[in-house]
Structure 1
Amino acid sequence: MTRERLIYMPLGGAGEIGMNAYVYGYGAPGAERLILVDLGVAFPDMESTPGVDLIMPDMNWLIERADRLEAIFVTHAHEDHIGGIAHFYRALGAPIHARAFTANIARGKMVEHGHPPEAIVTVSAWPETVAAGPFTVGFLPISHSIPESAALVIDTPVGRLIHTGDFKLDPTPLVGEAFDPELWVDVARDGVKALICDSTNVFSPHPGRSEASLGPAIETLVERAEGMVVATTFASNVARVKTLAEAGQRAGRSIVLLGRAMRRMIEASAETGVLNNFPQVVSAEEARDLPRDSVMLLVTGSQGERRAASAQLARGKYQGLELKEGDLFLFSSKTIPGNERGVIRIMNALSEKGVDVVDDDTGQYHVSGHANRPDLERIHDIVNPEILIPMHGEHRHLREHVKLAGSRGMQGVLAVNGTMVDLTDVKAKVVDYVETGRSYLDGSVLIGAMDGVVRDRIRMALNGHVTATIILDEEDEPLGDPWCEIMGLPDSGKSNAPLVEVLEADIGQFLSRANEKTLASDATLTESLRRTVRQSAQNEIGRKPEVTVVISRMR
């Protein structure tokens, strides 16, 4: 009889920050029944993914085994954990379980993509559980920077697992549940086989600070401001948005919410009962008629997003509102690595307007939603697992977390995306590696990282593009002159002649020398013309462009 096993395998989120997707399975090798924890996205940049709308984990391994997928569980409503749900719903087809606030956000995404909202199942917090094949799963409340975050208690035939999701140990989060150490002690009392744990802030040596600690500094800043005040933060950080709004209200200012995501998060929080007594807001239209020193805008775009409210205010007007000299703009957020250029661009544009920009360099106006190293050590002590598997972090974070586990007498397992770990026995072991990568949402189409679309787009961005067109008659002889069109290239080069004319002349010379065999073969002629154009451009402008050859034959 084949021995059954318990496996864990990340498809995204382990070795990177974003695109979280974690598979658990139990059963005979190759026939395990599966569950998926989270299905998130990451956001593109113009350098590595030009034109792409979203980046998602490569889910092909799981899609090929969708008949074995029992359910999907979503820990919280951040995009890097929930953003891919609607995009992969048809391919995976499993019921999706989440707590009320997360379910509210997920249903909105499903409706936008034409999927049934009832595919999202609302689950109450622990001790309520959901049966999913060989697994029993419960949502264990934990504090984070978004309401109703939860770790997952995953009971299996060979022991209990705890998947932390994103978390911090905050006794006063203002919105959502506080960290309850007694509840966690109780859940871990009978033993935990493995703790699959957030690693984001493993290098931060000081204990994390509470969300409630920010209020006084923000209130002082807003109270002293003389012109209009604008503040941006993560739209999902409902507690921070409320803190900012209350600071503005106490300073006698009318509050305006700008940005679809921010309004949506506040609405979802109110609809699900996690947010009460949010200050009254006014519309942008109403704010235009108020004195500038009595208005506070809370806006999206803390990460430099070009289409968000922050960027549009930096460029000019947004919904009729405009920033002027003497106004104050607060970034109550941390810039995610990779977003620095976009944020700095906005800060400089605001500065050029005479706006005073305040960021969180001093640590007064933002606290992280992730557990720092001392908090990770505390959760290790509470759970006391046999095995610790770091997740949610770059490779350096995971490796450091494994070292931390070892220093504290725990078995640590480094499992990056695609690593299948067998957790059945006391000692975990890596049993397989699966090819993983990325998929891209490009407009309305999902494309694979190996499809070449993004690669070709990068090449065109780096090198420019030439379209070379020729016409051949019935005898395979050139008919008329060739012509070229260029994009992303200078009009002229070393010779000071128009680049198009230089390229056309060199193509003409090649055609005049080409033999009958070359002229008769589209493939040979295309490659020869491509090389001719690239070499001609290299001589003229020092660059080899991408080339498209169009051959028309009069037959």
Structure 2
Amino acid sequence: MSQKRLMYLPLGGAGEVGMNCYVYGYGPRDKERLIVVDLGVTFPDMDNSPGVDLIIPDIAWLEARKDRIDGVFITHAHEDHVGAVGHTYARLGAPIYTRAFTANIARRKLEEHGVAANAVTVMSAWPDQVALGPFKVGFLPISHSIPESSGLVIDTPEGRVVHTGDFKLDETPLVGEGWDPVLWGEIAKPGVKALICDSTNVFSLAPGRSEATLGDNITQLVASADQLVVATTFASNVARVKTLAEAARRAGRSVCLMGRAMNKMVEAALETGVLSDFPPVISPEEALDVPRGNLMFLVTGSQGERRAASAQLANGKYRGHKLKEGDLFLFSSKTIPGNERGVIKIINQLSEIGVDVVDDSTGAYHVSGHANRPDLEAMHALMQPQILVPMHGEHRHLRAHANLAKAKGIQSVVAVNGMVINLSGNAPKVEEFVETGRTYIDGSVQIGALDGVVRDRIRMSLNGHVMVSVILDDDGPLGEPWCEIKGLPEIGSSRAGLAEVLEEDLNQFMMRAGRKTLGDDKKLEDELRRIARQSAQSEIGKKPEVTVVISRLS
């Protein structure tokens, strides 16, 4: 039998922020028993993935080894950690383990795909563990920006691995468990073989701040407003939603939740008991009868999402409500890199209406859910791992985090998506690479990043499209070719209609073409496409995408 190894393989979330998916394995090489940690999504943008609904990890490597997967563990209920469970369950079929609040969210996602609730097993917090193959796994409570976030204690024949998940060192998070250094210290006592650690805020040099520090600032802001107040934050940040709602209650305002995700998260928190004293809320319909100065909307869309409540209100009207000059709009959130354009667009639209916008530029109305550099150093010192592997960050985050560990004498390696790391020795060792990538959720189907669908869509959006149709019988062309254009100017440099110019050039070719060319569909199609693109280049300075339809009559 070949030598056994303890392996770590990120399939998403290492070299990027989002789409988290990590694999641990133990056993002989290529025969390891596997567990999966998190199955998350990332979100598309119009530049790189137009029309796509969601992006999930490419799990082809896992699917080919699904008979060796003993379980899937979800650390918390953020979309970039749980969002892909419904899309991947049929392909993997492995049981899912998580804590109660996350299970509530996961089951809702699985239900959308016809998967029964018993696919998810709810576990209690540490010291509860489940034995699966060579692993014993338990959920270790830690604070983050969503209730019941957990790290994982993964006991293996090679020693203890601790997977932090997303975390911050907040002892007063208001909702959910706070940071407990005594508990985590107890976990570290037997020795930590490897610490797989969040890297998101490694460049933030100040210690992280507690969620509890925001209440007074938000309360004062809401109390100072004369007209309607609207606030947006991450719907999953239940503690922040509660802080905003309590500020409204203290100011004598009725609270109205707007947006499906906002209602879903509050509902899940109440159902699972992580939230017990949320202020009463009214519906958008009931809010129509409340004076504007006595209202506060808590809305989705803090990242500029086009279909969320924030964007709808900025566009003019949502659920019967319109914003007016003098209203107050609070962004109680940080803009995730890449989302700036959408957020700025909403802010400008609100400004045009005359709405006063308050963002997080002062740091008074938002705190991060991730550990800053001093907090990472505190985690390193407490856990004292033999090996540290940075995760959850772009390459620059991972590299800086690895260097931070090495400066303290901890063995470390930068592991990006697709890199198989052997954790069995005294130092981490890169042993192989597997093919990784992205899968697009496009409507009701999944398409691979290399399938060409999105590539073709991008090319059409950049270049426009021409449809060329010709009809032939045994004697040759029947009539002239005709063209339909999409996404192109109708008039070219010759001041004639673009379609007419293309049709004339194509017809000239058809009149000159020999019987051999006219009888070969492939050759004819290539020539028609070439001429159409060249003619368009002359007329409009652009070569469009061209589809040729050849119809032959017997």
Matched AA of 1:480: G
Partner of 1:291: 291
Partner of 2:74: 74
Query: In the aligned structure 2, how far is the partner of 1:94 from the partner of 1:446?
Result: 19
Matched AA of 1:334: K
- Percent identity over the alignment is 68
Output one character per residue of 1:367-390: Cα deviation in whole Å (capped at 9) or x when no partner: 000000000000000100000000
Partner of 1:338: 338
1:8-157 matches, within 5 Å, as 8-157=8-157
Partner of 1:385: 385
Q: Indicate whether 1:188 and 2:188 are aligned.
A: yes
Matched AA of 1:235: A
Matched AA of 2:214: L
Query: In the aligned structure 1, how far is the partner of 2:34 from the partner of 2:462?
Result: 43
Output one character per residue of 1:160-190: Cα deviation in whole Å (capped at 9) or x when no partner: 0000000000010000000000000000001
Counterpart secondary structure, 1:154: strand
Matched AA of 1:28: P
Partner of 1:532: 531
1:360-379 matches, within 5 Å, as 360-379=360-379
Partner of 1:465: 465
Counterpart secondary structure, 2:527: helix
Counterpart secondary structure, 2:322: coil
Partner of 2:356: 356
Partner of 1:318: 318
Output one character per residue of 1:206-256: Cα deviation in whole Å (capped at 9) or x when no partner: 000000001111111100001100000000000000000000110000000
Partner of 1:212: 212
Query: In the aligned structure 2, how far is the partner of 1:52 from the partner of 1:179?
Result: 38
1:246-257 matches, within 5 Å, as 246-257=246-257
Query: In the aligned structure 2, how far is the partner of 1:286 from the partner of 1:55?
Result: 37
Matched AA of 2:513: A
Query: In the aligned structure 2, how far is the partner of 1:122 from the partner of 1:263?
Result: 23
Q: CA deviation at 1:425?
A: 1.3
Q: CA deviation at 1:286?
A: 1.2
Question: Which has the higher mean CA deviation after the structures are superposed, 192-201 or 108-117?
Answer: 108-117
CA contact (8 A) 2:226 2:293 kept: yes
Matched AA of 1:295: L
Structure 1 stretches (4+) deviating beyond 3 angstroms?
A: none
Query: In the aligned structure 1, how far is the partner of 2:243 from the partner of 2:50?
Result: 36
1:532-551 matches, within 5 Å, as 532-551=531-550
Matched AA of 2:110: M
Counterpart secondary structure, 1:547: strand
Q: CA deviation at 1:518?
A: 1.1
Q: CA deviation at 1:70?
A: 0.3
Partner of 1:225: 225
Output one character per residue of 1:269-299: Cα deviation in whole Å (capped at 9) or x when no partner: 0111101110111111111111100000000
Counterpart secondary structure, 1:138: strand
Partner of 2:483: 484
CA contact (8 A) 2:232 2:310 kept: yes
Query: In the aligned structure 1, how far is the partner of 2:429 from the partner of 2:47?
Result: 38
Q: TM-score, normalised by structure 1?
A: 0.99
Output one character per residue of 1:40-80: Cα deviation in whole Å (capped at 9) or x when no partner: 00000001000000001110000000000000000000000
Partner of 2:511: 512
Q: CA deviation at 1:474?
A: 1.4
Q: TM-score, normalised by structure 2?
A: 1.00
* Residue ranges of structure 1 left out of the alignment (5+ in a row): none
Query: In the aligned structure 2, how far is the partner of 1:514 from the partner of 1:129?
Result: 76
Counterpart secondary structure, 2:480: coil
Query: In the aligned structure 1, how far is the partner of 2:168 from the partner of 2:177?
Result: 11
Matched AA of 1:481: E
User: How well do the aligned residues superpose, as a CA RMSD in angstroms?
Assistant: 0.6
CA contact (8 A) 2:412 2:427 kept: no
Matched AA of 1:344: I
Partner of 1:496: 495
Query: In the aligned structure 2, how far is the partner of 1:2 from the partner of 1:317?
Result: 66
Output one character per residue of 1:420-472: Cα deviation in whole Å (capped at 9) or x when no partner: 01111112211110111100000000000000000000000000000000011
Counterpart secondary structure, 2:301: coil
Counterpart secondary structure, 1:102: helix
Query: In the aligned structure 2, how far is the partner of 1:452 from the partner of 1:36?
Result: 29
CA contact (8 A) 2:136 2:155 kept: yes
Matched AA of 1:312: Q
* Residue ranges of structure 2 left out of the alignment (5+ in a row): none
The count of aligned residue pairs is 554
1:404-423 matches, within 5 Å, as 404-423=404-423
Query: In the aligned structure 1, how far is the partner of 2:226 from the partner of 2:495?
Result: 56
Query: In the aligned structure 2, how far is the partner of 1:132 from the partner of 1:17?
Result: 29
